[in-house]
Structure 1
Amino acid sequence: MAKKIDEQKLAEAYNHALALEKAGSFELAAEAYRRVLALDPDDHGGACVRLAAMGYGDTPDKAPDAYIETLFDQHADDFEDILVERLGYCVPLMIRQRFQTLETGPFYRMLDLGCGTGLAGGALRDMVDDITGLDISENMVRIAHEKDLYETLYVAEVEDFLDDNDEEAFDLVVAADVLPYLGRLEPMFFGVAENMVEGGIFAFSSETLPDTVLGEKPFMVGPHQRFAHARNYIEERLEATGFDLVEITDINVRFENGEPTPGYLVIARYQGS
């Protein structure tokens, strides 16, 4: 039987750790975040990601499911105002523009991974006959459902869905703003390949950091608690899972504290295993 979490004690411990981190007392903050993890092993607050960002913990393969679900459930109602209006996020529209320039599409079946409130569904609706969306956040899926953009919607974790899905394959898979919450890309890329028709298109965005920061690392947690990936790692993983790179474009994913967040917009074609 799962141990019941003392919500008040956990909140106090997390707020204490966060205050130490913001004050620049990273060693003390790391000790405090470890106490948070002892109280909440599922890590609803993303303590392991914060430890990695500070350089006081191992880089996880991905952000904890409980953390992602909690984060986006809490911000679902103001998600678009924050991401689009305040942070200048427009990756779904960038994907649409690249498809138009490349004369790619129309498509028959699209899978929108991490669909959120339906930004990619809205941007690409007229280019696709049938759209399936999924997100780990039930509140996000609720808002997407209200827009009537998707034929099918699921509340599911990306890698689990790709592993379990046995329905008809897709000729377009989109993952806008999903990689910043994943470190190791092999599970998702293999899962996408297994759910895609030969010749299908895989379009996604990622964030990155300067080589002076990333060094030889394929990925790491950046200063804003999101994963950054090296370009060569993305390209190697695509090739290993049967994709040919159509193009990779340098983009500004969003603004963070007024500063641009560099990243990549990637379009690849599945050539089969």
Structure 2
Amino acid sequence: MSEFDETAVAEAYNRGLALEKAGDRRGAAKAYRQVLDLDPDDHGGVSVRLASMGLGETPEKMPDAYVAMLFDQHADDFDDILVEQLRYCVPMQLRQLLRTHADKRFERVLDLGCGTGLTGIALRDCAGHLTGVDLSERIIELAYDREVYDELYVGEAVGFLQEFEDENGQRPKWDLIAATDVFPYVGAIESLVSAANERLVPDGCLGFSTETLPEASFEGKPFRVGPRQRFAHAPSYLKAVLEDNGFTLEEIQQITVRLEDGEPVPGHLVLARKSR
């Protein structure tokens, strides 16, 4: 991670927020670009904000530095924000979907972007061995305290899938990979889906949630940054990438992912099975 002047970054970022709130989008964009010049790792996620405003290129994913800082900062209030304020219940929705299509005990389960363990709790009864991984070290500490997981790691989702080896130097495979609330932080999903396929046993399952927007909002693009600075994916894009990477789609459900300012955020809950 490169060093940067936190005071100068904060001043430019706050100036951008003030200008954006005042309706001066061009002025805000100029301030945000100054932030990027000062902090190329983009701890403030301004590249995503610029894309949301339509004044910058859409990145392929959120900056790792931004995601780690975001979740480190909100770790202690994470469950309250998700469950009580945002009415987030995707983990239990995934568990129900698994009961419908794969009602069995999975010998090995990987929870990508495990957070504090909400999905781990939902899947514990159907998992023989449960591994969790998250980019935020503070979040992993809280997940450890829950005593839900057999193993926990700090890591970025795609990098973990591509590189992880166990203590014996082996590259383990899983029967189920769950990724609830991971795709909204990833725009281009090809690498993630491909890496998941490589880490699943034959006939293994991939379950994940996404956020979406009205079809016209995508303007023919597979994904875009929505108004709340999270990635939204077109259903046709999800289906195409899964098929191209050796998956058979079991079901894609329209769901309400969460509430934001009291309004439902639409998305999809997807279950796919490795076919090759």
Q: Does 1:238 align with 2:237?
A: no
Question: In the aligned structure 1, how far is the partner of 2:6 from the partner of 2:48?
Answer: 20
Aligned to 1:38: 37
Question: In the aligned structure 1, how far is the partner of 2:164 from the partner of 2:49?
Answer: 32
Question: In the aligned structure 1, how far is the partner of 2:186 from the partner of 2:95?
Answer: 23
Matched to 2:260, the amino acid is: E
Secondary structure (helix, strand or coil) at the match of 2:66 reads helix
Q: For structure 1, which segment, 165-174 or 140-149, has the greater mean C-alpha deviation from structure 2 after superposition?
A: 165-174
**Offset of 1:24 from its aligned partner?**
2.2
Q: State whether residues 101 and 250 of structure 2, in contact with CA within 8 Å, keep that contact through their aligned partners in structure 1.
A: no
Matched to 1:121, the amino acid is: G
**Offset of 1:103 from its aligned partner?**
4.6
Question: In the aligned structure 2, how far is the partner of 1:3 from the partner of 1:84?
Answer: 35
Aligned to 1:250: 254
Secondary structure (helix, strand or coil) at the match of 1:77 reads helix
Question: In the aligned structure 2, how far is the partner of 1:96 from the partner of 1:212?
Answer: 31
Aligned to 1:145: 144
Matched to 1:268, the amino acid is: A
**Offset of 1:25 from its aligned partner?**
1.4
Q: Where does structure 1 lack aligned partners over 5 or more consecutive residues?
A: none
**Offset of 1:6 from its aligned partner?**
1.4
Aligned to 1:126: 125
Aligned to 2:113: 114
Q: For structure 1, which segment, 160-169 or 201-210, has the greater mean C-alpha deviation from structure 2 after superposition?
A: 160-169
Alignment of 1:65-76 (within 5 A): 65-76=64-75
Q: State whether residues 2 and 41 of structure 2, in contact with CA within 8 Å, keep that contact through their aligned partners in structure 1.
A: no
Identity %: 54
Question: In the aligned structure 2, how far is the partner of 1:164 from the partner of 1:238?
Answer: 21
Question: In the aligned structure 1, how far is the partner of 2:141 from the partner of 2:65?
Answer: 18
**Offset of 1:182 from its aligned partner?**
0.2
Aligned to 1:213: 217
Secondary structure (helix, strand or coil) at the match of 1:236 reads helix
Aligned to 1:79: 78
RMSD: 1.0
TM-score by length of 1: 0.97
Q: For structure 1, which segment, 123-132 or 100-109, has the greater mean C-alpha deviation from structure 2 after superposition?
A: 100-109
Aligned to 1:192: 196
Aligned to 2:168: none
Aligned to 2:47: 48
Matched to 1:111, the amino acid is: L
Q: How many residue pairs align between the two structures?
A: 271
4+ runs of 1 displaced by more than 6 Å? Answer: none
CA displacement, residues 224-247 of structure 1 (integer Å, 9 cap, x when unaligned)? 000000000000000011000000
Aligned to 1:263: 267
Secondary structure (helix, strand or coil) at the match of 2:103 reads coil
Paired residue for 2:174, among 170, 174, 187? Answer: 170
**Offset of 1:100 from its aligned partner?**
1.9
**Offset of 1:3 from its aligned partner?**
5.7
Q: Does 1:60 align with 2:64?
A: no
TM-score by length of 2: 0.96
Q: Where does structure 2 lack aligned partners over 5 or more consecutive residues?
A: 166-170
Secondary structure (helix, strand or coil) at the match of 2:266 reads strand
Aligned to 2:97: 98
Aligned to 1:6: 5
**Offset of 1:165 from its aligned partner?**
2.1
**Offset of 1:104 from its aligned partner?**
2.5
Secondary structure (helix, strand or coil) at the match of 2:76 reads coil
CA displacement, residues 123-143 of structure 1 (integer Å, 9 cap, x when unaligned)? 110111101110000010000
